[in-house]
Structures are given as structure tokens and as C-alpha cells.
Amino acid sequence: MLRILLINDTAKKVGRLKTALNEAGFEVIDESGLTVDLPARVAAVRPDVILIDSESPGRDMMEQVCLLSRDQPHPIVMFTDEHDPGVMRQAIQSGVSAYIVEGIHAQRLQPILDVAMARFESDQALRAQLNARDQQLAERKRIELAKGLLMKMRQCNEEDAYTLMRRQAMSKQQKLIQVAEQIISMHEMLGN
Amino acid sequence: MTDHQATPRPDALAWAAGSDAPEKNVLDLGFMALADSAPLIVAATQGFAQPYGLTLNLRRQASWAGLRDKLLSGQLDAAQMLYGQIYGIHLGLGSPATAMAILMGLNQNGQSINLSSALRGAGVTTGEALRQRTHQSGARLTFAHTFPTGTHAMWLYYWLASQGIHPLRDVHSVVVPPAQMVAHLRAGRIDGFCAGDPWGAHAVDENLGFTIATSQSIWPDHPEKVLGVTREFVEECPNSARALTMALLEASRFIDESVENRRSTAQLLSAAEFVNAPVSTLEPRFLGHYQDGLGHAWLDAHPLRFFADGAVNMPYLSDGIWFLTQFRRWGFLRDDPQYHELASQVHQLELYREAASALGIAVPQPMRRSILEDGKVWDGSDPVAYAHSFALHALAERQSLAL
């Protein structure tokens, strides 16, 4: 059963989503959006999906969503009455997987949640690819920096420097990047 | 400092840039706890893949069947695999047929057939003594290999048959994961096994068994492990496949470059997360030092090797066809297949040629000539005649492969 953290970001309509979700058979934990510390609640409750019901999502709510997507990415669905495309764009940029304007029907909830979760997964996969690419580049730069330092220290050519670093790493059961970092730290410590 | 300085040759990087960039840049690589997983482990940990835009995640597998299942389900992108295993999967022997691809050879030599110290105690230390023992009445001996269509099954069958022992009638065979061979020998559940190093060396070092034949004594410089992927992977991610091949070629070249590199490779591999075996067992085999547990020690002329100027890595069609002839010989195939066509589908020669050429590595002819221990010549030219040329065989039978 899906565990849903429901944030009511509006004082007056409390309960409109909760009833529909309960009817559809979800486990719902609800919170008032006016007082919630979203990242802390997500860490404590560990929901599968976060639903935000908001008449018009405010700046504070968007900030909380941003923090959450950065540190603990989750599928987030926003139900709102806000038609303004600017607000919608801002919500998507903050990390909202689905933005639903008006009309909450119990029978529509499951497909909406399914789409939001699928969308979230594909975003995460893309993000993982991009992160891996950044990390590959960052590691290459550090390894090259260390190689350059070693070439100067040992008065050797590029290939010899790589071989020395790799032998050192392998005999200590480490990765090349670890040895590169050690060379860089040592160089910094010696004040060159 | 500029980016292109990191690589051996600037043109090698052309593949990683622009339209030749890997379609998938994080690859999960399956490997088994074996000495011949070295190219994968060295490539993944020693920065051989980053210049090609790849991150390699190493995933150790407990058994060859488990490795196959994860590769077919997509949990692994590529894996160290047994030559014959690729063909077994491709032909659907023992599991649903899935089109497979061989990207490159990973190593030659380095496997062995080992018998229990109980047999040694009973004076069974030669092929002839073993033949006599298997033809006596009484309980049949049980030998373990690692996968029904794998290389170890084929080395075991070939060697037993060359000693006049029918591997399917005179002895029992069971499948045991390589890293568990020594425990099975210790428990007395098996009388011998064929597996890759370091497990034969480990049995000798622990005084639980002795080596009666190395795989290179059966076939000097024989094909062994390959880099395997599904056909689907090569078709969807040809650039990733080429980049991976290049990274592993460079790692293989590095390992074989010097004694120091081989020594440090053995040290790396001995780690708990990789082969998890003592350096004292792994290192001698990386340096070609062998001892058989019968008082003989030697420097092997055909030790475990990973590169040999690319001679190891070429996915020779004749190597693949040899395994098909043995499947035919032992009845896994009821009829002779289209040997050459099958091998040409499975071996990705064009992709290998591109990868090797970009690194300045020689690409030999796709057929090679070998002489096996029994004096038979294998050059791939007449597989039908070869498959039918053995005194001991099961040509008329169809084996059921229990996996």
C-alpha cells in the first residue's frame, strides 16, 4: 500500500483530498502546510509520495519543495487551483513531478500517482547519468592534477606517472582516485 | 592542464566525444571471484574507463548461473563470462535462447583439473591410474565443474576422454561455483574439480588436493573468459560497448606490461570484495609459478595471460567454433549447427577491430591454428569432421542440462 504524506497548504479546504485518498485505499499521514518542516517530516514519515494540496502555492512552500528535492528526492504531486503558468513552471523547476489543476476525483488519483512516480523515476535516472558524467570529469581532473605533480616530483613522463600511481593504488587495494587525492594532499601539506 | 592529456592517444578519445559518446555512461559489470576477472577489476578501479566517459560498477556474482540470470534480466550490462556459456545461452541449451554477443577475449590459460588428496593417498596421481580407478566396480567418482556448457566442463570432459574415461558414462559431474570448490573437496562431496585459479592453487596450498592437469597442458593458450553482453545491448549501446572494450584492452595491456604490474594486480585482487583469497596463493599464478601438490614446481610456458599484444583479446571465430564442436561431440547439439555463421553472429569482430585499431593494438586473423595435448590440430576449417573425429563421444545422445 502506498504511503502518502499529504500536505494541506490551505486553511479552508482541509480534508478534501484526505477523504478521496482514504476511499481509494491509501495510507495517509496529513499535515498542515502552514506549519510543517517538510524535509524533517519526510525523513520521519518516509512516505512513497508527497501530495501537496494548495489553493495557491506560496514562496515558502516552493522553498521547502526545493530543499526536499535536493536532499531527499521523492515523487511530489501538487493539487492546486492556481492557473498561472509562471507558478506552474516554478513548481516543476522546484522538483514537482505532477501539477494538477482543480478537480480531485477518487478514481483519478491512482493514475495520477502512477504517472507521477514513473516521471520521478525517469528524472532520477537522467539525473544519475548526469551526476555520473560530472563525477567522471571531476575524477579525471583530479587524477591529471596528481599525475602532473608526480611528473614534476619524480622527473618522469606521463605514462610512468600513471603506472606509479596505479601500482601504488593496487598494492594498497585502493582506487586510482584515492591515490591521486593523497598525492594532492601531500603536495599541499609540503607547501609547494 | 587540458582534458585530453589524460589519455594515451588523443585519437582514442574521439569515440568518447560528440556523436560517438556512450549511450549509457554507467555500466554494471558482473564478475566472479577468479584471477581472470583482473581486467574488469583493474579497469574499474584504476581509472581506465573515465577517459571514455564510462563509470564501471563492479558487481560480484556467486555463481555462473546467477550471473547469466542478472545479465539477461538487465541488472548487469556486461560481464566476465565463460566462452562456452555464451554459446549455451545463445543456443538455448538449458535456458531460454537469448541472442548473445562476445566483445573480446579476457584471458587465456589459468584453469586446472584437481583431484582430492584421498585419491592421491590411494595412488591415483596419473591419468592412467585414474582411468583404472574409474573402470573398477564400485561407486563412481564425482567431479565438479562450474557451468554445464562452460569452459571448465569442456576442459574436464576433453581431458577425461583423452585419458580413456568417458565423462558422461564413467563419472558423475556436478556444478559447483568456483569459490566453493575447495570447501566441497574438504567436505568430501567431490573427488575432483575443474575451475579457474586461484581455486586449484588454493586446494594445493591447503593440502586438500593436487593438480593433475592444467588447462594449458590440454590446449596451450586456450580461449577462456570473454567479455559478454546480450545482442540487444550491442545494438542499443554500440558506443558504450566499444568504449568498454577499449577500457578493458588498456587495462589488459597494463596488467601484462611488467612483473611489478602483475604483482600489484594480484594484491588488488586478493581484497575481500574481489577474489577474497590470500596474496600468497594468487601472486605465484600471476607470475607463472606453478606447483601441483605432487612435489613438482615449474615456471609455466603458457601461464594465465591477459594481453600478449592483443593475441589474447581477439575474439577468434575458430575459438568459438571449437566450443560448438564439443557441444556436438557430447550430444548437447543433436545435429551439426551452421558453425561459422553462428560464430560470426556472436563475435563482434567489427566492433573489436575498431576498438583495437584506435589503440594501436594489432588485430590478428579471425581463425587461428592450435595443437591440443592429444596432437589434434584445430584451425576451424572443418568443424563437422573435427566434431566427429573423437574416439569417445556422445554424438547420438541428447544431454539434458540441469541448471
| Structural class in CATH, domain B111-221 | alpha beta
Domain assignment present for residue A129? The answer is no
From chain B, pick out residues whose CB is under 8 angstroms from the CB of A128: 26
Domain assignment present for residue A127? The answer is no
CA B262 to chain A, closest CA, distance in angstroms equals 9
Residue B105 Ramachandran class (φ > 0 left, ψ -120 to 50 alpha, else beta):
beta
Are B36 and B107 within 8 A, CB to CB? yes
Considering only CB atoms, B6 lies closest to which of A128, A129, A143, namely: A143
Considering only CB atoms, A170 lies closest to which of B26, B53, B268, namely: B268
Domain identity same for A97 and A9: yes
Considering only CB atoms, B254 lies closest to which of A139, A166, A171, namely: A166
Question: What confidence score (pLDDT) does residue A70 get?
Answer: 83
Q: Give the Cα separation of B53 and B30 in Å (integer).
A: 19
Considering only CB atoms, A171 lies closest to which of B3, B53, B267, namely: B267
Domain coordinates of chain B in residue numbers?
3-108+224-290+302-383, 111-221
Domain assignment present for residue A78? The answer is yes
Domain that holds residue A38: 3-104
In B, what residues contact A, Cβ < 8 A?
A: 1, 3, 5-6, 8, 24-26, 42, 45-47, 50-51, 53-55, 254, 257, 260-261, 263-265, 267-268, 270-271
Are B175 and B143 within 8 A, CB to CB? no
From chain A, pick out residues whose CB is under 8 angstroms from the CB of B16: none
Q: Do B267 and A141 touch (CB under 8 A)?
A: no
The H or E element containing residue B299 is: strand B297-299
Residues 6+ apart with CB under 8 A from B395: B328, B329, B331, B387, B388
| CB contact A143 to B (< 8 Å) | yes
CA B358 to chain A, closest CA, distance in angstroms equals 18
Indicate the burial class of B353 (C-beta count within 10 angstroms; 0-12, 13-18, 19 or more).
middle
Residues 6+ apart with CB under 8 A from B380: B316, B317, B318, B321, B322, B340, B367, B368
Domain identity same for A95 and A35: yes
List, as one string, the DSSP characters of A85-99. HHHHHHHHHHT-SEE
CA B10 to chain A, closest CA, distance in angstroms equals 14
From chain A, pick out residues whose CB is under 8 angstroms from the CB of B6: 140, 143-144, 147
Domain identity same for A97 and A166: no
* Strands of chain A, DSSP E: 3-8, 27-32, 49-54, 76-80, 98-101
Question: What confidence score (pLDDT) does residue B329 get?
Answer: 97
Domain assignment present for residue A152? The answer is yes
Could you give the percent of chain A with pLDDT greater than 70? 93
Domain identity same for A23 and A79: yes
Give yes or no on whether B3-108+224-290+302-383 and B111-221 have one common fold: yes
Domain identity same for A14 and A89: yes
Domain identity same for A86 and A170: no
Considering only CB atoms, B264 lies closest to which of A139, A147, A171, namely: A171
Residues 6+ apart with CB under 8 A from B217: B373
Q: Which residues in chain B show pLDDT less than 50?
A: 1-11, 14-17
Average pLDDT of the residues of chain A: 86
* CATH code where residue A177 lies: 1.10.10.10
If pLDDT is split at 50, 70 and 90, which confidence band does A15 have? low
Q: How many CB atoms lie within 10 A of CB A122?
A: 10
Residue with the three cell numbers 575481500: B272
List, as one string, the DSSP characters of B23-65. S--EEEEEE-SSGGGHHHHHHHHTTSSGGGT-EEEEEE-S-HH
Question: What confidence score (pLDDT) does residue A14 get?
Answer: 53
The residue-averaged pLDDT of A80-91 equals 83
Does pLDDT of A120 surpass 80? yes
Q: How many CB pairs under 8 A join A and B?
A: 75
Question: What confidence score (pLDDT) does residue A13 get?
Answer: 58
Per-residue pLDDT tens over the stretch B15-61: 444 568 899 999 999 999 999 999 999 999 999 999 999 999 999 99
Q: Do B47 and A158 touch (CB under 8 A)?
A: no
Are B197 and B35 within 8 A, CB to CB? yes
Residue B261, φ and ψ in degrees, nearest 5: -65, -40
Q: Give the Cα separation of B38 and B56 in Å (integer).
A: 14
Q: Give the Cα separation of A119 and B358 in Å (integer).
A: 39
Domain assignment present for residue A126? The answer is no
| CB contact A150 to B (< 8 Å) | no
| CB contact A175 to B (< 8 Å) | yes
Q: Which SS3 state, helix, strand or coil, does residue B378 take?
A: strand
Residue from B4, B7, B26, B286 whose CB has the most chain A CBs within 10 Å, to mutate: B26
Give the residue from chain B lying closest to A167, CA to CA. Answer: B264
Q: Do B3 and A128 touch (CB under 8 A)?
A: no
Q: Which SS3 state, helix, strand or coil, does residue B293 take?
A: coil
Domain identity same for A141 and A63: no
The CATH code for residues B3-108+224-290+302-383 is 3.40.190.10
Question: What confidence score (pLDDT) does residue B162 get?
Answer: 97
Question: What confidence score (pLDDT) does residue B398 get?
Answer: 62
Domain assignment present for residue A115? The answer is no
Domain identity same for A8 and A99: yes
From chain A, pick out residues whose CB is under 8 angstroms from the CB of B24: 129
Q: Pairing state of beta strands B225-230 and B209-214?
A: unpaired
* Domain end residue (candidates: A104, A125, A157): A104
Are B270 and B193 within 8 A, CB to CB? no
Q: What torsion do the CA atoms of B21, B27, B32, B33 make, to the nearest 10 degrees? A: 90
Overall domain count for chain A? 2
Name the grid cell of B16: 568518447
Question: What confidence score (pLDDT) does residue B2 get?
Answer: 38
| CB contact A144 to B (< 8 Å) | yes
Domain identity same for A75 and A149: no
Are B161 and B134 within 8 A, CB to CB? no
* CATH code where residue A22 lies: 3.40.50.2300
DSSP structural state of residue B347? B
